[in-house]
Amino acid sequence: MRGVVFVECCINFPRFVDCCAHTFIIDGRIRDFPRVVMLAANSVSLLMPISALGIYLHAIFVSITLGFPFVIGAFLFKWWRTRDEDYYRAARTATGVLAVNFALGAITGTLVEFGLVQAWPGTIYAIATVAFVPLAAELVAFVGEIVFLVAFIVTLRRVRPWFSILLLGGYFAFAAFSGALITIVNSWINVPWGTGALASVLYPYLPEYGPAAFDTPVLVKVKLALVDTLLKTGTASQILQSPEVAQAVGISLKDPFVALYSPYALVSVLHNVTAAVIIGMAIASAALAYRHLRAGDQRYVKLLRSFLPILLVLLIVQPTVFGDSMGKAVAEFMPTKFAMMEGAATTMQNPLVAFLAYGDPSKPIPGFDAFRKACEAHGDTTVGGIAPVVVTGYSPGPSSNIRLRDLCLRDLAAAEGRLALINGAYYVKIGAGVVALVSVVALTSSVFNLGPLSKVVSILFGRLGGRRLLFLLAILVLLGSILPAALGWYVREVGRKPWTVYGLLYPEELVTPTPVSAATMAAFTTLFTAMSVGGIVGMYLVATRPLEFVRLLRRGAGVEE
């Protein structure tokens, strides 16, 4: 039995200590080592999918939160200019959906936040340092969102349309600000800006991450404490519970604003927020196209026209400007992820990709062979050999014998194991994005007269009939928006593995020390999923049964009865 556990350990957790070969004697406790390491690995394998599910569910609601203000704003603008009540009624219905959605977004966001500190308490160190400023500022964004949304809802039609649009704009501004701040934190774990050359010392193929805003010896001390505790006890994050450890660590970050300066964060914010807005608007356009398909009422086409040009512009800008910048940033700062995206098991030439990524078609795309070669440069250097150079008064621990070359190669192997998956996901994402772009151009051409373009669409899809064509194109836009976003997030998160903080920290170092049972987590996940599904059903009810909704509200207000 011990042998089975030991082998599982080597498969799941091969990177800290050479447990498959020879170095698994930790403080003389040979038998304990495989068991204790399994503890963190098991928790990670159990909690990681739950965290991912939570984030994906939250993303659904965030998309509507960010996309619907454009839709409602367009309706209100048209209502203001034309006094056509159809626009007002549509704005009111969409506002009901937005209100339910916001409640669900807020609650899933809160749960993701709780999940972060409870399932991954090691992140508390990041929250207390580099994420302090973004998360503190996010409070303003969150409260601002609520104040403007409630003010918008209760004053709708009580104030002039331009004032409602202004309130809605305030709501969107804070919602986008919130999204931007959270993206900045996420960007830091992708590209740990401010850690200087630390990651590149461990992994020579990585670049430097900005100026050393962190105190490097302190950061190394934290890393060593995490690894040594993990190897001794099976989990690591509990060291943050000790006031003595906190005192010993001391000031870690010299510039708390450093996450805001990351060039990777800036492009990520533009890319992510725009993606969310696109999805939200695509959901609204699909809903209108569906109603048009079912009812054949031209009113829905009229409503669609009011915001479709915005969606068209965003779907053009997203891949050509923001997506392009994002790709360049990944190529510059996350070489393993870029190699995984491009399927570069070995260094390869691809003039088009190289031109897009580096601005130089002749530049080769570094593959895993190049990274492995870089790892070899470590020679026989061990953690214990290099640590005293950085940390004054270093005392050897269980990690002292780890060879940097082995560590580097094993982490590469772990990353390369996901190459096919990431490569496939990335190119499906690109393909889906192209479908969305073509579809939105066709959709716009079918509801506006764009001369030859409209004629081409009519010829190509004329047999389908107007209603079905509109619905088909709207669905393609929706799928072409959701798929790239979902897969893009997958590439972003899984592509930085095996690290949680790229090049610095593993999930096993951050996971909770509390042993969690699969049954408890299954029950929790079921509850979480049921809640989200119930919320989506609720939004559907609000969108499809507005008259019942209004009648009931009137009863509640005592107007009827």
Residues of span 502-521 touching another protein by CB under 8 A: 512-515, 520
Q: Return d(Cα 121, Cα 229) in angstroms, integer.
A: 15
Q: Which range of residues in 310-318, 345-353, 480-488, 531-539 is near another protein by CB under 8 A? A: 531-539
Min dist. Cβ of residue 512 to another protein (A) = 7
| Residue whose CB is less far from another protein, 249 or 425 | 249
Indicate whether 355 belongs to the interface with another protein (CB under 8 A): no
Interaction residues for another protein, span 91-120 (CB under 8 A): 92, 100, 102-104, 106-107, 110-111, 113-114, 117-118
Instruction: Determine if 226 is a binding residue for another protein (CB under 8 A).
Output: no
Tokens 């914010």 locate to 269
Question: How many residues of this chain bind another protein (CB under 8 A)?
Answer: 81
Does 349 bind another protein (CB under 8 A)? Our answer is no
Largest CA distance in the chain: 84
Q: What are phi and psi of 133, to 5 degrees?
A: -65, -50
Distances from the Cα of 490 to the Cα of 135, 159, 230, angstroms: 23, 43, 27
In contact, 461 and 469? CB cutoff 8 Å: yes
121 part of the interface to another protein, by CB under 8 A = yes
Q: State which residue, 246 or 479, has the beta carbon closest to another protein.
A: 246
Residue among 11, 41, 9, 14 at smallest CA distance from 410 = 14
Element (H, E) at 211: strand 209-212
Please give the structure tokens belonging to residue 63: 């998309």
186 belongs to the binding site for another protein (CB under 8 A): no
Contact 365, 344 (CB under 8 A): yes
| Separation of alpha carbons 65 and 488, rounded Å | 19
Of the pair 147, 494, the CB lying nearest another protein is at 147
395 binds another protein (CB under 8 A): no
Partners of 501 in beta bridges:
505
Q: At what angle are helices 161-190 and 263-295 packed, to 10 degrees?
A: 130
Q: In the complex, what is the shortest distance from the CB of residue 135 to another protein, in angstroms, rounded to a whole number?
A: 5
Which of 163, 358, 490, 528 touches another protein by CB under 8 A? 528
Q: How far is the CB of 125 from another protein (least distance, A)?
A: 7
Nearest one of 146, 166, 178, 172 to 67, comparing CA atoms: 172
- Asked if 4 interacts with another protein (CB under 8 A), we say no
> Taking the complex as a whole, how short is the minimal distance between the CB of residue 215 and another protein, in angstroms?
10
Q: CB under 8 A: which stretch of 125-133, 179-187, 358-366, 487-495 binds another protein?
A: 125-133
Find the shortest distance in angstroms from Cβ 224 to another protein.
Answer: 16
| 71 versus 260: smaller Cβ distance to another protein | 260
Among 42, 43, 63, 237, binds another protein (CB under 8 A): 237
Cβ distance to another protein smaller for residue 142 or 499: 142
Given the complex with another protein, which of 439 and 500 has the nearer CB atom? Answer: 500
- Per-residue binding string, another protein, 416-435, x by CB under 8 A, is --------------------
Residue keyed to tokens 């305030």: 170
> Could you tell me what percentage of the chain is helix, strand and coil, using 3-state DSSP and rounding each to the nearest 5?
75, 0, 20
522 binds another protein (CB under 8 A): no
Q: How far apart are CA 500 and CA 264, in angstroms?
A: 16
- Applying the rule CB under 8 A, the residues between 243 and 262 that interact with another protein are 243, 246-247, 249-253, 256-257
Specify the residue, 346 or 525, whose C-beta has the smaller distance to another protein.
525
Q: How far is the CB of 269 from another protein (least distance, A)?
A: 19
Please report where in the chains the tokens 């499809």 appear, as a residue. Answer: 544
CB atoms within 10 A of CB 88: 19
CB closer to another protein out of 106 and 356: 106
Size of the chain, expressed as the number of residues it contains: 561
Sites for another protein among residues 128-167 (CB under 8 A): 128-129, 132-133, 135-140, 142-144, 146-147, 150-151, 154-158
DSSP H helical segments within 318-465, as ranges? 324-333, 335-342, 351-358, 368-376, 383-390, 404-416, 419-447, 452-461
* Residue 346 CB, nearest approach to another protein (Å): 42
Q: Which amino acid is at 277?
A: V
Among 26, 220, 230, 240, binds another protein (CB under 8 A): 240
- The answer to the question of residue 286 lying near another protein (CB under 8 A) is no
Confirm if 46 and 521 have CB atoms less than 8 A apart.
yes
Of the pair 233, 401, the CB lying nearest another protein is at: 233
95 versus 382: smaller Cβ distance to another protein: 95
The span of 37-45, 242-250, 448-456, 482-490 binding another protein (CB under 8 A) equals 242-250
Q: Which one, 449 or 517, has the nearer CB to another protein?
A: 517
| CB 31 to another protein: min, Å | 19
Helix (H/G/I), strand (E/B), else coil: 40: helix
By CB under 8 A, tell whether 81 contacts another protein. Answer: no
Which value, in Å, is the radius of gyration of the alpha carbons in the chain? 26
Site for another protein in 533-552 (CB under 8 A): 534-535, 538, 541-542, 548-552
Long-range (24+ apart) CB contacts under 8 A made by 150-155 are 152/95, 153/95, 153/99
Contacts of 39 (CB under 8 A, 6+ apart): 234, 235, 515
Q: How far is the CB of 279 from another protein (least distance, A)?
A: 21
Which one of 238, 350, 401, 454 is in contact with another protein (CB under 8 A)?
238
Secondary structure (DSSP) of 217-259: HHHHHHHHHHHHHHHHHS--GGGGG-HHHHHHH---BS-TTGG
Q: Site for another protein (CB under 8 A): which residue of 125, 368, 426, 471?
A: 125
For residues 90 and 76, the answer to whether their CB atoms sit within 8 Å is no
Q: Residue 355: how many CA atoms within 13 Å on its side-chain side? A: 4
Closer to another protein by Cβ: residue 200 or 233: 233
